[in-house]
Structures are given as structure tokens and as C-alpha cells.
Amino acid sequence: MTAEQHEYVARQADEQGIIRYPADEHQIWSELITRQQQALPNRACPEYLEGLKKLNLPIQTIPQLKEIDDVLLSTTGWRTAAVPALISFKRFFELLANKSFPVATFIRRREDFDYIQEPDIFHEVAGHCVPIPFLVQL
């Protein structure tokens, strides 16, 4: 799947910088993060668990990127960058070079609950943003 061929569309922030997700999408986030947190004990490394604690991800709602940025900027100098699903390798590495981690601003549909080809906000935040505080120390 290339950046031109994707089935999800990123949500756009409003004039206050807030992304207004519908209730059913918050419910999917809640179920995903709850399942992940139940699976972590005795599986995740201490560094991941510490990053998760620092980010303090909400359980009931999809986090706003500003909430994640507040933690990442103060602890690492990194931030998130909202992107429209898949992006080119060039854009990906440009963002990383500027201490910005790309985050797609959509969440998977229920029919893709267990697996999604495109990285969604759950994948990006819970999978990649959580360990950033540890990774920047390497």
C-alpha cells in the first residue's frame, strides 16, 4: 500500500487545534488501550512502561496531539506532527530530522480492530510515542 492508496482519511483539527472524534471512535480507542494495558504486565520492558506512565494516555477518549506534545516537548524536545495516513519516506525522515514524529489522525474501524495495514493514531501513539522518552536517551 502506498501513500496514494489508502482507505482511511485523517481527521482535521478545528480552529482551536482540537480534533473532534465521534463517540464510536473514542469507544474503539478505549477498548484498544484497555486491552493493551491488560496485556502489558510481564511482557513490556520497563522503559516502555515508564514512557506509558509519563504520557498518561486517557482511557475513555482519543488523546489530542497537544496533550502528547506537552509531555514529549517537556521531556524530550520532540513533538507529534499530524499526517494524513501514510506519508512518503522523504516526508517521514524530514519530520524525524526536525524532532517531529508523524501521527495519523484517524482510528481504525471496528472491522479492522485486531489488525490494520495503515498506522492509525492508536498504533502511532501507543506503539511509537510511548517509547520516545527512552529512545532519545540512547
* Tens digits of residue pLDDT in 26-61: 999 999 999 999 999 999 999 999 999 999 999 999
pTM: 0.90
pLDDT at 137: 72
How far CA 72 is from CA of 29, 32, 99, in Å, comes to 20, 22, 10
Task: Please give the single-letter amino acid code of residue 50.
Answer: E
**For residue 104, what are the β-bridge partners?**
83
Provide the pLDDT confidence category of residue 85 given band limits of 50, 70 and 90. Answer: confident
Helix (H) or strand (E) holding 124: none
In the chain, DSSP finds a helix count (H) and a strand count (E) of 6, 2
Residue 96, pLDDT score: 95
Check whether 76 has a pLDDT greater than 70. Answer: yes
Q: What is the pLDDT of residue 6?
A: 62
Confidence of residue 109 (pLDDT cuts 50, 70, 90): very high
Q: Is 128 annotated as a binding residue?
A: yes
Query: Cell 529512545 appears where?
Result: 135
Q: What pLDDT is attached to residue 60?
A: 98
Mean pLDDT to the nearest integer, 87-105? 96
Helix (H, G, I), strand (E, B) or coil at 9: coil
Question: Is the domain defined by 23-135 classed in CATH 2.60.120.10?
Answer: no
Interatomic CA distance for residues 3 and 50, integer angstroms: 33
Say what the pLDDT of residue 2 is. Answer: 45
User: Which helix (H) or strand (E) is 93 found in, with range?
Assistant: helix 89-97
Mean pLDDT of 94-104: 97
Tally of CB atoms within 10 A around 106: 22
Q: Is 6 annotated as a binding residue?
A: no
Give 104's DSSP letter: E
